Amino acid sequence: MRLLAAKGVKAIWLMASLILCACSAADVGPVNSHAEKAPPPSPEFVTDRGDDGSMVVGLAFSGGGVRASAFSYGVLRALDEIIVDQKPYERTMIDNVRMISGVSGGAITAAYFGYRGRDDYRDFDERFLFQHAEASMETSLASPFSLSRAVAGGVNDRNTFARWLNDNLFDGADFTRFKWTNAPSLWISASDIYNRTPFLFSYDTFAALCSDLDKLKISDAVAASAAVPVVFAPVVLAASKQDCGYRHPAWLKGALSGSNPSLRLTAYANALDSYHAEDGIKFVRLMDGGLTDNLGITGFVLERSASKTPHGPLSAEQAVKLRHFLFIVADAGRGQTEDWGASIRGPWLAPLVEAAIDTGMTSSSRHALDALNFAVERWKERVVAYRCGLPLETVRRIRGSADGWDCRKVDFRVEHLEFADLEPNVASSLNRVETRLSLPREQVELLIEAGKTVVHRSAAVKQVVDDVRRVAGVTGRE
């Protein structure tokens, strides 16, 4: 009996310890603040740099931890090496990036580019990729503290990775730092695990929350985008029910009324409605954006679906000047590396769970790519119809001349860059790189080089660049 009593006391003590640990002030937010006045809506069009406008580049960076961060950084550096014009000043493909989006590991790269700009992002490798951000985190479930935190919703809170990002990478910056001259539209996405939808860090979203996006820390948005379940607790936003004068924008009204055929947009509209409705949710819980979109294409797809014009998110002038729209998806997803397909036994629990997750995400990504290609093709049809319906005097006003004008001569492409584009032995090595927030330097360097290589080998990129350079009269090196 004494032994049983002792065991009972020990069990009670352990349970109490777990409860106390679980209740110990996990800092999950809310990370946003209330706005007395409804913030302005998201910009209707991407920025116009005032160049000839013949090429517009969009970028989407997938999830995958530092594997994705390094691969997408390599893509950026390759685009930075390709000269597309020399008059009145030298421009590379980076100067033509008008929209950039990212999720999870890819969101870190996208956000840093948005924070530092076209000329100062190049130290991303030294400031993040070669650092050991995981040192700020609890990465083991061996301790009672970590186990209790996991049971309570997540081992790590804002005091770990989010704080590291804020102190070491984004320097305490908020979203106002994305507003430099001619900055591209930047979309960071997470997952709203209550509404089961993507969550876009946009002005439309925060207007529905009666919250000021400009005051949000970049680090909190990026940490939410990369908040893998159990490893991290959900990042929390407050959905204020105080009246700030918010009114549904036209696209949201249309989606709620059922007049928009896009199921993705309708689900997103219902989520935004739940943030503001009196009987809606009071707190939004965000987790890894890869749960709903591991390619990082949500921002573009939603902006295009919500557009009131046939050419948005391009302006009317951009639609007329355009020769090439190139949307590059940098996908750091891993191919199959396991060998249990050759055996009747296995896989055991851990690889089985991993395989189940990878199956769902890979299948979802294939559907997303198909939908993206279809959406871009439909968009091209609408842009061509718009261009062909314009009077010549409008064309002359925008282009300066109607000489050589062909309303149908415009090219829209989606280019999916992945490890499979590389030599089999290189792809095999990359497919074995873990999904972590810190990696060995040699793996990071291999991933950066892989990102550069897939861009330079891309037939679609080469065709677009060759045509733009020919028209611009560019000579010499890329």
Give yes or no for a cis peptide into 198 (omega within 30° of 0): no
* Burial letters 220-239, b for 16+ CB under 10 A, else e: bbbbbbbbbbebbbbbbbbb
CB atoms within 10 A of CB 409: 11
User: Residue 32 is encoded by which pair of tokens?
Assistant: 């946003």
What are the structure tokens assigned to 23, written together? 């209740």
- Is pLDDT of 111 > 50? yes
Residue 433: strand pairing partners: none
Question: Cα torsion at 460, 462, 464, 469 (round to 10°)?
Answer: 180
Least confident range from 262-266, 269-273, 327-331, 443-447: namely: 262-266
| CB-CB contact of 348 with 338 (8 Å) | no
pLDDT at 478: 55
Cα distance between residue 451 and residue 77, in whole Å: 8
- Cα(208)–Cα(203) distance, integer angstroms: 9
pLDDT digits (tens, 9 = 90+) for 415-433: 999 999 999 999 999 999 9
Q: How many CA atoms lie within 13 A of 225 on its CB side?
A: 36
Rg (CA), the chain: 24
Give me 81's structure tokens: 């090496």
DSSP 389: T
Confirm if 210 and 278 have CB atoms less than 8 A apart.
no
CA distance linking residue 184 with residue 178, whole number of Å:
9
The DSSP-derived string for 203-244 is HHHHHHTTB-GGGSBHHHHHHHHT--BEEEPPEEEE---S--
Architecture of domain 2-334+346-472 in this structure: 3-Layer(aba) Sandwich (3.40)
Arithmetic mean of pLDDT, 359-375: 88
pLDDT at position 476 = 61
State pLDDT tens for residues 154-171.
Answer: 888 888 999 999 999 999
Report residue 41's pLDDT band, with 50, 70 and 90 as the boundaries. confident
Name the H helices within 62-121: 65-81, 105-116
- Whose CA is closest to 455, among 94, 109, 78? 78
User: How many CB atoms sit inside 10 A of residue 357's CB?
Assistant: 13
Q: How much is the pTM? A: 0.91
